[in-house]
Chains A and B, each alone.
Chain A
Amino acid sequence: MVLNQIVLGLATGSFYSLIALGIVMIYKTTGVMNFAFGNMAMFMAYVAFTFTAMGLGPAVALIIVLPLAALFGYAVERFTLRPIRHLSHASMLIVTLGILMILEGLVTQIWGTRYKNFPELIKGKPFVFSGKAGIVVFRRQDILVFLILICISVLIYLLIKHTKLGIAIKAVSENEKAAQLMGISPGKVFSWMWMFGTALGALVAVLSAPKTYISPVMMVFYQIEGFTAAVLGGFESFAGAIVGGLALGVIENLVGTYISNELKSTFSLILIIVVLLIRPQGLLGSRKIRRV
C-alpha cells in the first residue's frame, strides 16, 4: 500500500518536477518569475488539441507543439520582456501577469470554456505487481512521464556540464556583466532558456491533459505546485527542482492517503515552511560561496 502510494506520488511528482524545471530555467538566468508560465503551457495544449481534432495522433501533436512552444517562449521574451529589461523586475512581472490574462481571454474566445478531452499518449492496461509489500500499479502514461523526466534531467546535466551553452547559462546566472566580458551574449542565453522552459511547460500540459482535461484553468494547480517544488528544492538549482517536485508528489500522496485528502496541500506547504526555516536555500540550493 505504502509502496503503491510512493509510486503514484512519484508519477505526480514528475509533473511537478518538469514544471519546476521550466520555472527555474527562466528564473535562474533572467531573474524573472514567469507568472504566465502555466497559461502559456495551457495555450499550447489547446494548439495540440486542435491538431488532434484535425485527425493527428496525440504523439504527433506533441512533437509539432514542442517547437511551436519554444518559438512562443522566444517571442514572449524577445518582444515583450527584453525591451523593458532595463526598467525593473516589477515591470517584467506585470508584463507576465498581463500575458497570463491575455492568454486566458484568447483561449476562451477561440476555443470556448467547455473542457476538451485529450487522449493519452500510451494506452493499455497498467502493469500490476503484487508481493509482500502489497500491490503496486504502474500506469503506462505515468511510466512514460517518469522516463521523460529522467531523460530531460540527463540532458540538462550534459548541457550544463559539457557544452558552451551550459557554461554561458552558468556565467549569465552568476554575473551578467562579467559574462558579457567573456563574449557571451546574455540575450541569446535568455532566449534559449525561455524556449526550453516554455517547451517543458507545454510538454507537461499535453501529458497531463488526459487527466485534467484541457481548459483555461488546467495549469493553475500545476503552476502552484511547480513553484512550491522549486522553492522546496532551492530556486536556482536544476537538481533541486527535480528532487523538490518528486518529494512534493510523494509527500502529498502519503498525506492524502494516511491523514486527510483535504489537508494534503496544506500539510505539504507547512512542511515546506519548516524546511525553509531550517534550510532557507532549499534542499539542494547552495549558499553563496565567498572566501573572507
Chain B
Amino acid sequence: MLELRNVEVCYGPVRAVKNISFVVKRDSITALLGANGSGKSSTLYAVAGTNTITEGQILYDSKRIDHLPAYERVRNGIVLCPESGQIFAQMTVLENLRAGAYSRRDSYTDELRMVFDLFPRLKERQKQLAGTLSGGERQMLAIARALMARPRFLMLDEPSMGLAPNLVSQIMKTIQRIRSLGVTVLLVEQNAFSALKISDYAYVLQTGKLVMEGKASEMLRDKRIIERYLGG
C-alpha cells in the first residue's frame, strides 16, 4: 500500500532521515520504532507531506505521491494524526472534529457517531474548548479528528506520549479497533512494548537509518533487540 524508496529528509545541513526504504502492507498495523531523534516523526511527516524529501520516492497504491502537497494527500486517504499538542486549542471539540472532516465532500454524520462511540468522553465535552481537555482527552481528540477524514491509511505519531499506563492500553485497543474498520495503520512509538504487542510488522530506526525490521511478534520475543535498539 505504501512504499518508501531511499527517502532522505534534511533540516538544513542536518540529515534527519538517511535513505530509508520500507513497505507498509494493506490492512496491517506497522510500527516504526526507535529512540528520540531517530527520525521516526520526520519520516511520518514526509509521508504526510509537511516535510519535503530531498531524495527518494514515496509511493501509495503504486503511484508517486511525493510531489503532492499535504492537503492533496489527505484527499487520497493518507491521514496523519500528529501528537496531541497539535489539536486546535482555541476551537471546541466539535469544531476540531469538523476540521478533521474538512476534506470530505459527503456527510460526516456516520463518522461523528463512530468517533463518539469510540470516545464517549468527547461527546460529553463536544462544546468545550479543546485547550482545556486533559492529556488523555486531547489524545483521544487527535485520533478522533484524524478518523473524521475517513482515512484509508492512518499514521499515528506517539499516541501514548505522556499518558498513564491504563490510558496507553486503552489507546492501543482503540488502534486495533481502527484497523478492524479496514484502515491500514503506521504507528510511531517510543513505547516499543505497547506498539509491538498490537503490530504485525515493525521497523527500527537509529539516527535516521533503518537498522532492523521483522515480524512484531518475533521482535517482542527477542530480548536482545529490545535492549539494544528499543531502550530495554
Chain A positions near chain B (C-beta within 8 angstroms): 164, 167-168, 170-171, 174-175, 177-185, 286, 288-291
Contacts and interface: CB of A to CB of B under 8 A. Distances in A.
Nearest to A164: B102
Contact of A181 (B48, B91, B131, B134): B48
B90 A289 contact: yes
B208 interface: no
B98 interface: yes
Interface in B70-122: 70-71, 74-75, 79-80, 82, 86-91, 95, 98-100, 102-103
Contact of A180 (B70, B90, B132, B134): B70
B99 A179 contact: yes
B6 interface: no
Contacts of B86: 175, 177-178, 181
Given A170-B91, A289-B89, A291-B134, A182 B48 contact: no
Contact of A288 (B69, B90, B100): B90
B225 interface: no
Contact of A183 (B50, B75, B87, B88): B75
Given A171-B91, A291-B132, A181 B102 contact: no
Contact of B98 (A167, A177, A183, A289): A167
Given A175-B88, A288-B90, A291-B133, A184 B95 contact: no
Contacts of B149: 182-183
B152 interface: no
A171 B80 CA distance: 16
Closest 10 CB pairs of A and B: A183-B103, A183-B74, A289-B131, A180-B70, A178-B86, A185-B71, A171-B99, A183-B71, A182-B102, A174-B88
A286 B129 CA distance: 12
Q: Which of A177, A179, A181, A290 neighbours the largest number of chain B CB atoms within 10 Å of its CB?
A: A181
A174 B48 CA distance: 19
B74 A182 contact: yes
Nearest to A161: B95
B49 A180 contact: yes
A168 B69 CA distance: 16
19 contacts: A168-B99, A170-B90, A174-B88, A175-B86, A178-B82, A181-B70, A181-B80, A182-B71, A182-B74, A182-B100, A182-B102, A182-B149, A183-B74, A183-B103, A184-B71, A288-B89, A289-B89, A289-B132, A290-B131
Given A167-B102, A289-B131, A291-B134, A181 B74 contact: yes
